[in-house]
Amino acid sequence: MKKSIALAAFGIAAFSFAATASAQAKPEDQIKYRKAGYSFMSWNMGKIKSNLEGTYNKDQVIAAANAIAGIANSGMGALYGPGTEKDVGDQKTRAKPELFQNMQEVGRIATDFNAATAKLASAAATGDKAAVQAAFGEVGKNCKACHDKFRAD
């Protein structure tokens, strides 16, 4: 956990929750896993959007929000280790070099994002559509904050 502690000193603990050394994935796999996490969150964001725009199914929104919050708060910062700044093997990344040069800012966005997903899950549990709408908007804002700055088109 050395890396986690060191990065926490820079205020980016939420983003850098490192895996134990023995579980550290290879750079190619780190890219694969982080893309998988965002992809799966995206599917679930789409489901919530669809529920907000159409028939609202409380259970489906709860399930989708729990998946998003679970993924977001799983320690994805550990998937941005050395060697993952560019394509590796078959794994292509759209993360810009600027992301790796601004880890403090990325950490702040990630902290906000993680908190927003937890709020979305809490709102979903209440079944209050208006609360979910607001929380969903906040999550989306945080997605966009990172994409606009740190993800290539």
Which residues line the annotated binding site for heme c? Answer: 143, 146-147
Q: Is the dihedral of CA 102, 107, 112, 114 positive or negative?
A: positive
We find the least distance from the C-beta atom of residue 12 to a second copy, in angstroms, to be: 16
| Smallest separation, CB 100 to a second copy (Å) | 20
CB 72 within 8 A of CB 113: yes
CA distance 59 to 39: 21
Taking the least distance from each CB to a second copy, the nearer of 67 and 109 is: 67
Residue whose tokens read 């810009």: 96
What's the min distance (Å) between Cβ of 59 and a second copy?
8
Binding site for a second copy (CB under 8 A): 1, 17, 19-20, 22-23, 25, 29, 32-33, 35-37, 39-40, 43-44, 46-47, 49-51, 53-55, 57, 59-60, 63-64, 66-71, 73-75, 79
Least Cβ distance, residue 75 to a second copy (angstroms): 5
Of 60 and 111, the one with the shorter C-beta distance to a second copy is: 60
Residue 56 or 149: the one with the smaller Cβ distance to a second copy is 56
| φ, ψ for residue 128, nearest 5 deg | -80, 105
Q: Which amino acid is at 118?
A: A
Burial grade of 144 (CB within 10 A; 0-12, 13-18, 19 or more) = exposed
